[in-house]
Structure 1
Amino acid sequence: MFNDLSSTPSLLATRRSGKPRDMIAPGPSPEQLDRILAAAIRVPDHGKLAPWRFVVVPQDKRADFAALLHRAMEQQTGTARETPYDAIEQFAHQAPCLVVALSCPVRTSPIPVWEQELSAGAACMNLLLATHAEGLVGGWLTGWASYSSLVCAAFGGAPGDRIAGFLFLGSPGRALDERPRPEPAAVLSVWRG
């Protein structure tokens, strides 16, 4: 069951992103991960298209994930010598749990692709909120690998699909930082016609 963070407003107001490199065990249990993923897909979805997919990368497949990233970097740069070996290894092995989110718009649908991509982003945000509700921390990263067609295809992406992000989940290894937020007056207004 989700942790009671006293209320939905409290849950929303206290969610923070954690840095995946700082995450430690435990990550979500299998039951927690099931609840997190079930919550992730309860998002607005015009046309009921489910234009997103989530792929869990188990711990025992992280070395395979690193090898995939090395191949993708070599394909991108044309040489293995330019591959930032340590950075790729660190990225692939950080945090106890990794979920790859794919944006998979149904291009034959009359629903605009933009709306489908927004639904994929909402699913990622729901995943982060559900992770927080479970008393864990999540971090949503993109970077060069999320734009690699080789990496996308390895996770089941079809042509035209994209990686929406790598969602790392775990326990915070240190206190989470509060990032600067805009003043509400700087980003909110009332339309006066």
Structure 2
Amino acid sequence: MTNDVKLIDYLRERHSTPVAQIKGPAPDAAELDEILTSAVRVPDHGKIAPWRIVVYRGDVCVSLGETFLEIACAQNGEMTDAAKEAERVRFTRAPLVVGVISTAAPHAKIPEWEQVLSAGAVCLNMLMACEARGYVANWRTEWVAYDAKALTALGVKEGEKVAGFIHVGSSDFPMPDRPRPQLADVVTYA
């Protein structure tokens, strides 16, 4: 089977493995470099790379979970034990989390919207690159992508936005397909 056939098959069947079903192993350092190298090969008007990548794994993910829990408790007051645990494990559910951070900003020639789209393309390329390497991935944001205190803990700078957190690992979870849009409902011809 040619690579073209494999890619088209992937695109026809693409789905997101639930984060709760992602486990180890995750890509090692060399595999991750290959995945990230593929991920950044996206349309980038002006070659300005309006995004950056932050890799979270290991102890830093445990520490972030405690920080997320503190923030959630301060904002929400009393929380159930299950809700507390959900915050603690937010970045340890998968063995690797990759943050794609949009650095889009006003530019003399490149519309900011195009820069934002480029960051989204990095996220999608990362999903495909993980699949090509035999891993699964899920593109998420969740509340931590929009909370000022969580963003500071995550290393996101003022003026930046989270395009996505890509949770990466392995899974043997059978994924049934979900309903997809019918072309007649979303496509028009001018």
TM-score normalised by length of structure 2: 0.88
Instruction: Give the letter aligned to residue 24 of structure 2.
Output: A
Any conservation in 2 of the 1:11–1:133 contact (CA below 8 Å)? Answer: no
For structure 1, which runs of at least 5 residues remain unmatched after alignment?
A: none
In structure 1, how many angstroms separate the alpha carbons of the residues matched to 2:119 and 2:79? Answer: 33
Question: RMSD of the TM alignment (CA)?
Answer: 2.0
Any conservation in 2 of the 1:37–1:127 contact (CA below 8 Å)? Answer: yes
In structure 1, how many angstroms separate the alpha carbons of the residues matched to 2:157 and 2:89? Answer: 27
For structure 2, which runs of at least 5 residues remain unmatched after alignment?
A: none
1:146 Cα shift? 0.7
Segment drifting more, 146-155 vs 18-27 = 146-155
Any conservation in 1 of the 2:127–2:137 contact (CA below 8 Å)? Answer: yes
Change (3 A) 1:136 1:5: farther
TM-score normalised by length of structure 1: 0.87
Match of 1:124 in 2: 123
Match of 1:57 in 2: 56
Any conservation in 1 of the 2:25–2:95 contact (CA below 8 Å)? Answer: yes
Match of 2:180 in 1: 181
Match of 2:16 in 1: 17
Segment drifting more, 107-116 vs 22-31 = 107-116
- Aligned identity (percent) is 35
Any conservation in 2 of the 1:106–1:113 contact (CA below 8 Å)? Answer: yes
Change (3 A) 1:14 1:31: farther
In structure 1, how many angstroms separate the alpha carbons of the residues matched to 2:52 and 2:72? Answer: 24
Match of 2:36 in 1: 37
1:150 Cα shift? 2.2
In structure 1, how many angstroms separate the alpha carbons of the residues matched to 2:47 and 2:154? Answer: 22
Q: Deviations over 1:69-110 (max 9, x none)?
A: 1243245x174x348311112322101211111111133444
Q: Deviations over 1:16-60 (max 9, x none)?
A: 211111112111122221111111111111121111111111222
Any conservation in 2 of the 1:5–1:133 contact (CA below 8 Å)? Answer: no
Q: Aligned residues, how many?
A: 186
Q: Deviations over 1:101-144 (max 9, x none)?
A: 11111334442211111111011000001111111110011111
Alignment of 1:91-110 (within 5 A): 91-110=90-109
* In the alignment, structure 1 residue 142 sits paired with structure 2 residue 138: no
Segment drifting more, 42-51 vs 152-161 = 152-161
Match of 2:27 in 1: 28
Any conservation in 2 of the 1:24–1:173 contact (CA below 8 Å)? Answer: no
